[in-house]
Amino acid sequence: MDRVALRGLKARGHHGVFPREREEGQTFLVDLVMGLDTRPAAATDDLAKTVHYGVVAEEVVAIVEGDPVDLIETLAERIATQCLKHEGVQEVEVVVHKPDAPITVPFDDVTITITRSRV
C-alpha cells in the first residue's frame, strides 16, 4: 500500500476537559498518513484517481476548529472517520498533538496516535 502524508496541519480548537481550554482554545497539530493504491493515478496522471490532500487538509482543519470535545482521542477518531470517507483511502494513521496541554511540569508535546482502516 502506498502512503500519502500530511504533517503539521495547524488549527486552533477549543478541546479539553477544563473550562479554560474550552474558553480560550489552543493550537493543535495533526499528522496524517493515508494508505491507498496510487498506481491508477500515476498511470493516468489523474487527480480523481488518488486522494486530494488539499481537500483532506481543509477537512481536518475544519474538524479541529469545529465542535469541541473533551478528549484528543475523540478528535483523532473524528479525523480518521473523515479521511476514510475518501474513496481510495483504505487506512489512515492520525496523530493529534496538543503542545499546550494543561500540564504542571515541563514537557514538549502530548500526542495520541490512532490507526483506522476500512476492514
| DSSP helix/strand/coil, 71 | coil
Q: What are the pLDDT digits (tens) for 1-58? A: 999 999 999 999 999 999 999 999 999 999 999 999 999 999 999 999 999 999 999 9
| Helix, strand, coil percentages for the chain (3-state, nearest 5) | 35, 30, 35
Tell me the CA distances in angstroms from 11 to 23, 62, 118, one per residue in order: 15, 8, 27
Burial of 55 (0-12, 13-18, 19+ CB in 10 A): exposed
Model pTM score: 0.96
Instruction: Write out the catalytic residue numbers.
Output: 98
- Please name each of the domains of the chain with its CATH number: 2-117 (3.30.1130.10)
Q: What are the pLDDT digits (tens) for 66-89? A: 999 999 999 999 999 999 999 999
